[in-house]
């Protein structure tokens, strides 16, 4: 996510929510077609 912000294109709130839930649940992978991840 920090890479997007440094490019001037922050991730949307839903993407941040999904990433936060994954981190909180100690997920080691996130499978998505979303290129922001």
What pLDDT does 1 receive? 59
What pLDDT does 36 receive? 64
Give the burial class of 4: count Cβ atoms within 10 A of its Cβ; 0-12 exposed, 13-18 middle, 19 or more buried: middle
In sequence order, which residues have a C-beta less than 8 Å from that of residue 18 and are 6 or more positions away? 30
- The pLDDT tens digits for 13-32 are 888 888 899 999 999 988 88
Structural domain boundaries, residue 13 = 1-37
Tokens of 37: 């991840």
Domain count, the chain: 1
Of residues 7 and 14, more confidently modeled: 14
């Amino acid at each position: 996510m920090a890479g997007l912000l440094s490019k001037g294109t922050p991730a949307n709130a839903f993407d941040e929510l999904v990433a936060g839930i994954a981190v909180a649940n100690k997920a080691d992978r996130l499978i998505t077609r979303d290129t922001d991840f």
